[in-house]
């Protein structure tokens, strides 16, 4: 979860809890005897007012806790962690303590008015109320600050885990989440004024759960898990660790509480928690992470195969076109003078620069790819320009915007057209059309077909151009291209669309 999303979630959760607390206060208006304050005030012979002795004090206390949380979580602690404006934020934190202490203390003079009659002088009663109020404010600020610091620590572990892959970093993150769960639960128990023994049970059971979870997830399962490994076998073997962990849990309980029966109570919570929650959770998370890891490994393998296949196909295509271009220049040199040969060499130089620089990239400008295409067609026109029966027509958009395309995708279709569509003895034609509309490239090639004589060395050569370009299209533009090939007795036609 991103930091902004987490902050939004925190804000709305805190706001919803605040609103729910107020709604509960309003809904209890008709029932005045539900509160502890009612009985204490009545026992002292004082008059109880739900509005002044309960509703308004609780409303102010809830409000100061709510706004205190927002201030500490979003405004004060984060800059302090980043060591920004330390003096100002320190003053704000101290000011917040004073405001919260005053609000809670003044509220308690009404909600705990029975204290005023328990002391001989009124000043001692107020001293006790304000001491309790400021103590509560200090505890609230420490608790909220602890939550924010723990949250920032977990965020740091997560970011660190992204930078450095490894099991140790993931263990830190999981332990951090476990400690955060324990800490939040402890805050809830404290805010509910739960007995000290309940907090001991909560702490020991959760810490034992974290230990068993880490052992099962990072030490036991990686060593013993296999495809045929059953949950039943895992369950009984990890139960041994659960039983062994019960011994230190009981010893710590006896040291802290010194009541033998309390150790049995802790075990009554310890075993069900590990059996119902910890063991299945560790099993599920391990299998999920293993499946994700296998999927990533498979994708990397397939990507490696695709890259290797793509490189192999390109390595076949590159010399293929250079060989055809050199053959064209050779024929032109025999037929014409050096001027036309020089023009052809210039075109070839541009093509070779393209092959050495642009062709090794994953994506290039569509304009550069079209320049290569036009240079190739210009070289072929040098060879066929003396024949009036050969018509070569190109209609290529001049405005190609800033589209990117994989190199050498278009030239195989044109090369195939010149290879099979040109005859120096029969009328021949080739038409190449290229245009773009929005984000789609439209490419058409029409050419005549001539049956090659038996003594033509190219007759039995199947060629690799079209086969390779089909495979490249499938690898580079899956689901984003359409290739239509039509062939009749006298004409060959291809239509290609690519979503760029």
| pLDDT tens string 265-315 | 888 888 888 888 888 888 888 888 888 877 877 776 667 666 656 665 665
For tokens 């892959």, the residue is 165
- Could you give the CA distance from residue 65 to residue 99 in angstroms, rounded to a whole number? 11
Q: What is the mean pLDDT of residues 32-44?
A: 66
Q: Would the pLDDT of 226 be above 70? A: no
- Could you give the CA distance from residue 318 to residue 148 in angstroms, rounded to a whole number? 60
Residue-wise pLDDT for 341-359, tens only, equals 666 767 776 777 777 667 7
Torsion of CA 252, 283, 158, 190, to 10 degrees: -40
Give the pLDDT confidence score for residue 53 in this predicted structure: 79
Among 155-164, 287-296, 463-472, the minimum mean pLDDT is found in 155-164
Reported as a pLDDT band with limits 50, 70 and 90, residue 199 is confident
Give the pLDDT confidence score for residue 94 in this predicted structure: 92
* Helical ranges in 82-216 per DSSP H: 86-111, 122-163, 167-191, 196-215
> Vertex 315, ends 323 and 457: CA angle to 5°?
35
Residue-wise pLDDT for 439-452, tens only, equals 899 999 999 988 76
Q: Which has the higher per-residue pLDDT, 329 or 225? A: 225
* Helical ranges in 258-365 per DSSP H: 260-273, 279-335, 338-356
User: In CATH, what number does 336-499 get?
Assistant: 3.30.565.10
Q: Which has the higher per-residue pLDDT, 475 or 314? A: 475
Strand-pairing partners, residue 497, are 442, 482
Three-class SS of residue 401? coil
Among 41-45, 110-114, 255-259, 304-308, the minimum mean pLDDT is found in 304-308
Reported as a pLDDT band with limits 50, 70 and 90, residue 164 is very low
Q: What is the mean pLDDT of residues 195-207?
A: 83
Locate CATH 3.30.565.10 in the chain.
336-499
The number of helices, as runs of H, and strands, as runs of E, in the chain is 17, 7
Q: Would the pLDDT of 433 be above 90? A: yes
Asked if residues 222 and 290 have their Cβ atoms less than 8 Å apart, the reply is no
Percent of the chain with pLDDT over 70: 79
Distance, first Cα to last Cα, the chain: 32
Give the pLDDT confidence score for residue 158 in this predicted structure: 60
Reported as a pLDDT band with limits 50, 70 and 90, residue 103 is very high
Phi-psi region of 463 (alpha: psi -120 to 50; beta: other; left: phi over 0): left
Q: Would the pLDDT of 8 be above 70? A: yes
Q: Would the pLDDT of 320 be above 90? A: no
**Selection from 387, 439, 434, 380 nearest residue 409 by Cα:** 434
- Could you give the CA distance from residue 45 to residue 228 in angstroms, rounded to a whole number? 73
Q: Tokens at residue 188, please?
A: 């809830």
Give the pLDDT confidence score for residue 95 in this predicted structure: 93
Give the pLDDT confidence score for residue 97 in this predicted structure: 92
- Could you give the CA distance from residue 147 to residue 182 in angstroms, rounded to a whole number? 11
CA 487 to the chain's CA centroid: 48
Q: Would the pLDDT of 462 be above 60? A: no
Percent of the chain with pLDDT over 90: 10
Phi-psi region of 401 (alpha: psi -120 to 50; beta: other; left: phi over 0): left
Report, in this order, helix, strand and coil percent for the chain, each rounded to 5. 70, 10, 20
* Averaged pLDDT score across all residues of the chain: 79
Phi, psi of 146 (to 5 degrees): -60, -40
**125: CB partners within 8 A, 6+ apart:** 115, 116, 117, 118, 119
Q: What is the mean pLDDT of residues 4-21?
A: 83
Among 190-199, 282-291, 395-404, 473-482, the minimum mean pLDDT is found in 190-199
**Selection from 164, 280, 174, 273 nearest residue 218 by Cα:** 174
Eight-class DSSP state of 426? S
Give the pLDDT confidence score for residue 444 in this predicted structure: 95
Angle between helices 56-70 and 3-27 (to 10 degrees): 180
* Helical ranges in 192-278 per DSSP H: 196-215, 221-224, 231-257, 260-273
Q: Would the pLDDT of 400 be above 90? A: no
Reported as a pLDDT band with limits 50, 70 and 90, residue 258 is low
- Could you give the CA distance from residue 191 to residue 147 in angstroms, rounded to a whole number? 14
Q: Which has the higher per-residue pLDDT, 159 or 462? A: 159
Q: Tokens at residue 345, please?
A: 């060499």
């Amino acid at each position: 979860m991103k930091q902004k999303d987490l902050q939004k979630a925190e804000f709305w959760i805190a706001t919803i809890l605040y609103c729910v607390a107020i709604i509960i206060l309003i809904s209890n208006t008709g029932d005045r005897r539900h509160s502890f304050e009612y009985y204490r005030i009545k026992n002292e012979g004082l008059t109880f007012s739900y509005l002044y002795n309960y509703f308004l004090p609780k409303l102010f206390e809830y409000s100061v806790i709510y706004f205190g949380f927002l201030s500490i979580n979003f405004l004060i602690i984060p800059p302090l962690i980043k060591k920004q404006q330390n003096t100002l934020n320190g003053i704000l934190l101290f000011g917040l303590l004073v405001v919260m202490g005053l609000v809670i203390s003044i509220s308690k003079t009404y909600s705990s008015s029975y204290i005023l009659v328990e002391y001989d002088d009124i000043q001692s009663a107020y001293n006790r109320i304000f001491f309790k109020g400021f103590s509560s404010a200090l505890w609230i600020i420490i608790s909220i600050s602890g939550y924010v610091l723990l949250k920032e620590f977990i965020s740091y572990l997560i970011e660190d885990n992204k930078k450095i892959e490894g099991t140790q970093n993931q263990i830190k993150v999981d332990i951090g989440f476990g400690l955060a769960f324990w800490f939040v639960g402890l805050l809830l128990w404290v805010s509910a004024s739960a007995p000290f023994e309940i907090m001991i049970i909560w702490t020991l059971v959760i810490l034992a759960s974290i230990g068993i979870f880490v052992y099962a997830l990072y030490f036991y399962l990686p060593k013993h898990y296999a495809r045929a490994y059953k949950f039943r076998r895992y369950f009984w073997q990890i139960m041994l660790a659960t039983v062994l962990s019960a011994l230190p849990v009981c010893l710590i309980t006896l040291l802290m509480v010194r009541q033998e029966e309390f150790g049995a109570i802790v075990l009554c919570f310890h075993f069900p928690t590990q059996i119902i929650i910890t063991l299945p959770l560790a099993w599920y998370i391990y299998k999920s992470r293993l499946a994700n890891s296998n999927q990533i490994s498979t994708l990397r393998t397939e990507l490696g195969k695709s890259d290797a296949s793509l490189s192999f196909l390109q390595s076949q295509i590159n010399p293929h076109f250079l060989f055809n271009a050199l053959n064209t220049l050779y024929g032109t040199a025999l037929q014409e003078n050096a001027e036309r040969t020089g023009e052809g060499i210039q075109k070839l130089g541009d093509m070779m620069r393209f092959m050495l620089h642009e062709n090794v990239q994953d994506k290039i400008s569509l304009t550069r790819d079209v320049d290569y295409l036009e240079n190739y067609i210009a070289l072929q026109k040098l060879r066929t320009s003396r024949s009036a029966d050969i018509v070569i027509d190109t209609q290529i958009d001049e405005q190609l915007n800033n589209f990117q395309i994989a190199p050498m995708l278009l030239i195989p279709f044109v090369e195939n057209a010149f290879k099979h569509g040109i005859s120096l003895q029969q009328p021949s034609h080739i038409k190449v059309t290229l245009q773009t509309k929005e984000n789609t490239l439209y490419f058409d090639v029409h050419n005549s077909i001539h049956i090659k004589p038996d003594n033509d060395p190219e007759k039995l050569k199947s060629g690799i151009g079209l086969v390779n370009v089909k495979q490249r299209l499938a690898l580079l533009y899956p689901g984003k291209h359409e290739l239509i090939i039509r062939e009749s007795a006298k004409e060959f036609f291809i239509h290609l669309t690519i979503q760029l």
